[in-house]
Amino acid sequence: MALRLFTGEPQRAGRTCWLTDRPAADLCRLRVPLREALRALSGELVRAAYMAGRRIAPV
């Protein structure tokens, strides 16, 4: 039930999107809001980084 909160369409709460298998993605999780991170451009602001679905930082 909780997953429906994240897979639904905001304008149509009763409609659920389907999740599918896709290639692993790259992702960067920050410790601060993006706007702040773009101003500072410091690796210390990165909480975790993933490439092709595998964690590459912090090591």
d(CA 6, CA 1) in angstroms, rounded, equals 10
Give 52's contacts (C-beta < 8 A, 6+ positions apart). 23, 24, 25, 26
DSSP string, 4-26: HHHHEETTEEEEEPPP-------
Instruction: Look up residue 4 and give its two tokens.
Output: 């429906």
pLDDT tens string 11-29: 666 666 666 677 788 899 9
Strand 12-16 versus strand 8-9 pairing type? antiparallel
In the prediction, which pLDDT does 9 show? 65
In the prediction, which pLDDT does 10 show? 63
pLDDT tens string 27-51: 999 999 999 999 999 999 999 999 9
